[in-house]
Amino acid sequence: MRVVIAGGHGQIALILERLLADAGHEPIAVIRNPEHRADVDATGAAAVVLDLEAASVEEVAEVLKNADAAVFAAGAGPGSTAERKFTVDRDAAILLADAAEAAGVPRLVVISAMSADRFDPVSDDVFQLYLRAKSEADASVRSRELDWTIVRPGGLTNDPGTGLVRAGSALESGRIPRADVAATIATLLESGAASRTQFDIVSGDDPIAAALAGLA
């Protein structure tokens, strides 16, 4: 598969790129900073420098040309402004979905956030705005005819992956290693599981493939 990953220098994205490359796939990492190219190269992925906050649908669609799937792994990150929660976490996700439609890419996997739909609509707190941005992006993705999957992990850690998770709708809060989120996305791409499904995921007792199969 040729898989284009938006936010290709993120921590989950770098793990995912290595997993895909090691499995014989062709990951393409969209990055904003050309200085990050070496990190991407080290995973076995190919880097494309493109700023999703400034790019047009046509520019992103050109990168997506002939891709089998797209993954949205971008994020403004901790400490970013409220404005960038919307320009990256919301608008860039919507841009990728628009571009996937324009380029004829059937599969779209979006990394979102647990509890995104439970944001406080009157709060100016940056975290609440982040949840709102994720929620609005997810709503846009769900409206598409694409073969989409929205993955909503709990609190992210840098612990080693275990390959054991719990997945379902409206789970109680929990944590999950970034490595297990990346492995989940790789499994989604390879298996086609959880088509047109949105789910929460945290660490648990089920092997990833079994947890995803249980969502059908």
What would the pLDDT profile of 45-78 be if each residue is shown by its tens digit? 999 999 999 999 999 999 999 999 999 999 988 7
The per-residue pLDDT for range 164-188, each reduced to its tens digit, is 999 999 898 999 999 999 999 999 9
Label each residue of the chain as H, E or C. Answer: CEEEEECCCCHHHHHHHHHHHHCCCEEEEEECCHHHHHHHHHHCCEEEECCCCCCCHHHHHHHHCCCCEEEECCCCCCCCCHHHHHHHHHHHHHHHHHHHHHHCCCEEEEECCCCHHHCCCCCCCHHHHHHHHHHHHHHHHHCCCCEEEEEEECEEECCCCCCEEEEECCCCCCEEEHHHHHHHHHHHHHHCCCCCEEEEEEECCEEHHHHHHCCC
pTM above threshold 0.85? yes
